[in-house]
Chain A
């Protein structure tokens, strides 16, 4: 019974966490090469609230998976600028919602 309750509680915790996790897509101009990808991955991986970073040179986008304490838009834009590129558009999407927020 104890084990059962633990599993239930743990699952509930995971569901809550997943519901609060967010995906942020940043359109970035100016990134062109492998080191550019590395630069952006380093910048965002160093942020505590970001759990996953994907970069697309093809689509000129960075996709971030964050927890509930998502960094603010200005922090994200500044990280792109520090990497030497131009942030064009930031789209925030809650994993439990389909609607996005463009900035």
Chain B
């Protein structure tokens, strides 16, 4: 078999799964990651991974999982990819189990499963409340094994800057910078995968790690890749506020029986345990008797926002509600939710097994991302040997994981993200191999001039940033961007506020030119790197805001009070954004909804 050489950018679940699949087939892989791959943001995923293994005698099936996913996404996802993912899910969970992921067990020693949002089935496998960490470690270990065998070469503490392209515009690798030596180099490959995660930092504080700038995706967009459905931003209903970040309190807390409530009486100053049941308003259970506290995230976040902001019923008249676990016995909580209880206790100084947690929604996930293609079979599955799968609008460039836009439509169901990362990495790797097998020329035949041109473009960019000596502090500009995005481009959206935000971002882009880079060092200069990322965040933030402004309907996480209904006739379409010097250009592409016909989304 011919041996190819591939490049994977990003060492989270999607990137590592891609790497394992490629190395297992005997190919060599370069893995580029800002942090040692074991520290990637996937570690923050808490609650679990979905798969209809059906061990609880509920007659669950991949088909029901598929329908739940389409409906949870408010009918915006291309359905063949969702179908492929849901049918592959039980096998993926078994694979992770074989790799040694310490999933919780039933008394008989089988994998245990719990409830999650947007479904009525126990479909979520979990490892305490640190499932993402445990899965990432298992993949990290497998990659280390391939690294020991000489198939994988890691470039940790390296960051993606842009593409290497040939005369035809095909992506033939990437330019990366070493975070320590600041050396810029071009890495060539027969196909390149971007698995660089989401853009949480655009929103200032979010549940994301601080490495999640979206900079790589934004760079690809600036270099011509189409970015799709950028306006679909998931706000998680339950996080704890912090000065540096908003820490996630997993949906699994509600999956294990946690209840959301506020005192019925406005400004009730009593301690929560002194408020009798009859004087508590379990508003999700009351409004959604069938799904209760496990309505999808967009629904729960809107309700919490409404109760606190519009009705003024938040705990202590503030922006918070109770997430109550105190009725569940402490040993069970420790076994199933230990990780998040520790986080709450450590950062808030309160034991959540004794006192209800105080939580509020926080930006969490981007459903949108780089546009990717796919090829379906007649019966609605994915043609697995097609090079089109997960390929971006730029030939030779692929995307998987949160950075792509597929699978989750207008709202992602909890515990589907870990699944989409592993599935996307798997079928993305197969597509890369199919693409390389059919390519006319390999990476070794690329003229050195193409490599050098790309490297010197980015070398020039970093040098230019290194000379910026104006009055503006880049970290303060970033905070301002985050404040605008968080205020106006999250749970509730109004067109006048979106327009104002877009204008303000343009003003920030003007001020960007007057930045002071703060640091002149030629070694480990984080400020230069951040300023480069900041420009990308501004471009991405502007595009996301304008995409939200244009979509006059309400669908999943995108909610406009002025247009409260989903409008399938006009908007059952993917938003496709292309960068231009005059600002983002938008057009729209129909979505294949032929497998699960759209219905009104109801959870009450």
Judge: A and B partners, yes or no. no
> Which residues of B come within 8 Å of A, CB atoms?
none
Hey, which bits of chain A sit against chain B, CB under 8 A? Answer: none
